[in-house]
Structure formats: structure tokens, C-alpha cells
């Protein structure tokens, strides 16, 4: 069972707004650029980032090295970039989980989403969908709601982590439809998707491009 839930912006941010004074008169970039991907390999963010990295390298004339720093809803990767040298050579590929949602769900983050980053641009907009294992006795939203309401608290749903768009999308659906589902956060979308397809009692929100 799958139906559209919402569209989510994937964001690109850098660790600095202004190059150091000594670098302003020099051409940028002068050395390889490191791209930190805030989620694990195999998801839609990782896929798009690795597709864009060679194009970036070609246009900028320097190698672009992609590195996954997954965990904590993307905040581990964001923290790594926030603490990197503010010279424009460390870039974060992330989602609203780290720079919008995290600000309101966490009392303290290991970085300041506004102060420690400069926005570079939006590089993709992805459509999200809600999916369940075929073993669940429901083929549409109405049937799904009936199944969940008959067994409150029995079914779990998987997400790539606390505070991710996936997590909040299902929580919003639970509130609006009066459903009792238990959240099972994973470190990445791959684990959440694997559980969804292998266990009839697990459902999940995924990107139409894979995460």
C-alpha cells in the first residue's frame, strides 16, 4: 500500500558564509572539497549527492569527495560540518531534519543551525510516500485505518530516526486519524526499509527515490 504524503525539500548548506580574508583574493576552489552526507549510504539523499558530486568536481575543477556521517536524525553529519574549518571546503548535504525540525525537537543541538552554516541552495525536491508490508491486511488508507484502530498499539512504524521528516509525517497522520502506532527509529533509511519489507507488523515512510 502506498500513497503520497507530502513533498520535502532537501537542502545544501556550507560551514561558512565568507571565505577568510587571505582567500578572498584567490580563486576558489584551490583544493579538494569534502561533501558530508548526513544520512547513510543507499538512501535518496546519498544517491543524489553522489550523482551531483562528479558534476560539481567537473564544474569546479577540483575533486569532490563524498563521505557519509549518519545517525541521530542527521545531526552527526551536521555537527561534523559545523566544527570543520570555516573555509568553504566542507559542504553538508542534508534535509530539513537537521536545520528545521531539529531546532524544535531538541533542547540542545551540538551546533547552531543558523549561526554555524550558510545556505548554498536547494538541490532537489522529493516526493514521500507511506508504505506497508504486503502482509498487512489493507490495500488502501481506509482499510489501513480500520486495521490499526482494531489493534491499537500492536503495529510499529519504522523511520530513519527521531526528528526526521519521515518520523514527523507519520506522527501527523496519527494525530489527524487518531491512530496508535509505535515508532521504531533506525540509524538510516536502509534499516527502516528492510524492516518494512520483511515484517508485516512494520510500516514506514519512504522517499519515492529510495529512502
Cα first-last separation, the chain = 16
Total Cβ atoms within 10 A of residue 143:
13
Give residue 162's domain range. Answer: 128-207
> What is the per-residue pLDDT for 193?
76
Omega before 192 cis (within 30°)? no
Is 173 in the same domain as 158? yes
What is the per-residue pLDDT across 147-202, written as a single tens digit (0 to 9) for each? Answer: 999 999 888 888 888 888 888 888 988 999 999 999 988 877 777 777 777 664 44
Last residue of a domain, one of 126, 153, 181: 126
Is 102 in the same domain as 136? no
Is 53 in the same domain as 157? no
> What is the SS3 assignment for the chain?
CEEEEEEEEEEEEECCCCCCHHHCCCCCCCCCEEEEECCCCCCHHHHHHHHHHHHHHHHHCCCEEEEECCCHHHHHHHHHHHCCCCCCCEEEEECHHHHHHHHHHCCCCCCCCCCCCEEEEEEEEEEEEEEECCCCCCCCHHHHHHHHHHCCCCCEEEECCCCCHHHHHHHHHHHHHCCCCEEEECCCHHHHHHHHHHCCCEEEEEECCCC
Is 36 in the same domain as 103? yes
Is 16 in the same domain as 118? yes
Q: 46 vs 93, 167, 173, 202, CA distance in Å?
A: 8, 19, 27, 24
CA distance 150 to 142: 13
Is 93 in the same domain as 188? no
Last residue of a domain, one of 126, 148, 167: 126
> What is the per-residue pLDDT for 66?
94
What is the per-residue pLDDT across 25-60, written as a single tens digit (0 to 9) for each? Answer: 568 899 999 999 998 888 778 888 899 899 999 999
CA distance 5 to 70: 24
Last residue of a domain, one of 88, 106, 126: 126
CA distance 163 to 146: 27
CA distance 155 to 48: 32
CB contact at 8 A, 81 and 92 = yes
Number of domains in the chain: 2
Average pLDDT of the residues of the chain: 79
Stretch 135-142: mean pLDDT, rounded?
84
**Position 85 pLDDT exceeds 60:** yes
Is 100 in the same domain as 11? yes
Stretch 117-140: mean pLDDT, rounded?
79
Amino acid at each position: 500500500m502506498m500513497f503520497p504524503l507530502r513533498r520535502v525539500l532537501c537542502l545544501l548548506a556550507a560551514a561558512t558564509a565568507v571565505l577568510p580574508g587571505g582567500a578572498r583574493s584567490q580563486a576558489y576552489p584551490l583544493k579538494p572539497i569534502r561533501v558530508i552526507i548526513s544520512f547513510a549510504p543507499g538512501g535518496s539523499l546519498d544517491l543524489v549527492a553522489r550523482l551531483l558530486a562528479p558534476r560539481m568536481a567537473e564544474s569546479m575543477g577540483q575533486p569532490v569527495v563524498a563521505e557519509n556521517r549518519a545517525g541521530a536524525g542527521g545531526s552527526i553529519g551536521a555537527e561534523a560540518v559545523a566544527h570543520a574549518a570555516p573555509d568553504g571546503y566542507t559542504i553538508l548535504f542534508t534535509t530539513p531534519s537537521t536545520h528545521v525540525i531539529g531546532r524544535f525537537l531538541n533542547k540542545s543541538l551540538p551546533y547552531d543551525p543558523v549561526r554555524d552554516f550558510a545556505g548554498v541552495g536547494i538541490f532537489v525536491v522529493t516526493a514521500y510516500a507511506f508504505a506497508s508490508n504486503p502482509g498487512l491486511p489493507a490495500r488502501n488508507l481506509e482499510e489501513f485505518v480500520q486495521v490499526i484502530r482494531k489493534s491499537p498499539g500492536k503495529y510499529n512504524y519504522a523511520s530513519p530516526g527521531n526528528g526526521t521528516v519521515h518520523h514527523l509525517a507519520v506522527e501527523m497522520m496519527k494525530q489527524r486519524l487518531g491512530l496508535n502506532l509505535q515508532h521504531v527509529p533506525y540509524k538510516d533509511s536502509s534499516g527502516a526499509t528492510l524492516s518494512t519489507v520483511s515484517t508485516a507488523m512494520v510500516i514506514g515512510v519512504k522517499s519515492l527515490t529510495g529512502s
